[in-house]
Amino acid sequence: MRFASYVSLLPILGTSVSAWDAPGYDGYRLVWAETFAGPTNSLPNENNWNIIDGNIGVNNELQTYRRDPRNAQTSGGKTLQLVPWQDGSDWTSGRLESKYTFTPQAGKRTMAEAQIRFGGNNIDTKAGMWPAFWLLGDSIRSGTAWPGCGELDIMETVNGKLTGYGTIHCDVYPGGVCNEPTGRGATASIPNQDFQRWRIVWDRTSGDWRSQSITWFMNDNQFHQVRGDQLNNEGVWASLTAKPLFFILNVAVGGNWVSSPSPD
């Protein structure tokens, strides 16, 4: 993965990050990027990331996240590798949460983007795998409960299938304007397991929050959009567009949305 962030003039983000510099985009200014520089089999830069260590107890997932280069490692080629392992009946994996936070700017467009690829093993062996590139509202760190903090899933896949999900979670659980726990989402067909570019753009150029939008892209192709007037709640919209957010990169194993892990 690799990671960057732009405002319009833009944020970019990256997840199976490769040896490329963050790209430039007309009308955007790069404000933050993660190159995942470092030697082979080393932890990523902990000045930039909280590397989760422990079982966070959500979604009936099986893994315990570990602050261990076996699970979250730089490749030596400016990529990050998140690797789940089964040790007996126990699973471990990697989860990074950015110390960096940002608020999409009023009057501008803000973009976050990642280059992500999946391990080359056969898809049929990937039951139970649940990789994701996403954001949470920073207020969750000071006591705001989910989903009131706001969540934007830029890319999730489950069970190795070549379908990418982009989703928002918001408001209250259950129900609310985001129909929790389902959220408001759409899908993109992934062409293969090689690198794809996943992007989200907040458009706050309008002074009327009802006309503002959040749009999802894979390889420059739009596959989802949510507008303020669709939620019809200014406070909820602000939790997704006008409050500080932080990035998460993780691979979960098992849980409510996926199959049991494959014995292969």
> Is 182 part of a structural domain of the chain?
yes
DSSP strands (E only) in 172-244 = 184-189, 196-203, 213-218, 221-227
Convert the pLDDT of each residue in 133-142 to its tens digit.
999 999 999 9
> Is 264 part of a structural domain of the chain?
no
Report the C-alpha gap between 37 and 44 in whole angstroms.
8
In this prediction the pTM is 0.92
Task: Calculate the dihedral angle through the C-alpha atoms of 91, 34, 224, 119, rounding to the nearest 10 degrees.
Answer: -40
Q: How many domains does the chain have?
A: 1
Convert the pLDDT of each residue in 193-231 to its tens digit.
999 999 999 999 999 999 999 999 999 999 999 999 999
* pLDDT value at residue 2: 52
> Is 66 part of a structural domain of the chain?
yes
> Is 85 part of a structural domain of the chain?
yes
Q: What is the DSSP letter of 175?
A: B
* pLDDT value at residue 52: 98
- Polymer length of the chain: 264
Q: Which domain holds residue 209?
A: 2-253
Per-residue pLDDT band for 13 (boundaries 50, 70, 90) equals very low
Report the C-alpha gap between 134 and 116 in whole angstroms.
12
Q: Residue 16 pLDDT > 80, yes or no?
A: no
Convert the pLDDT of each residue in 140-171 to its tens digit.
999 999 999 999 999 999 999 999 999 999 99
Per-residue pLDDT band for 33 (boundaries 50, 70, 90) equals very high
How distant, in Å, are the alpha carbons of 79, 107, 156, 170, 198 from that of 5?
Answer: 17, 17, 19, 23, 12
Amino acid at residue number 80 = L
The CATH number of whichever domain residue 72 belongs to comes to 2.60.120.200
> Is 258 part of a structural domain of the chain?
no
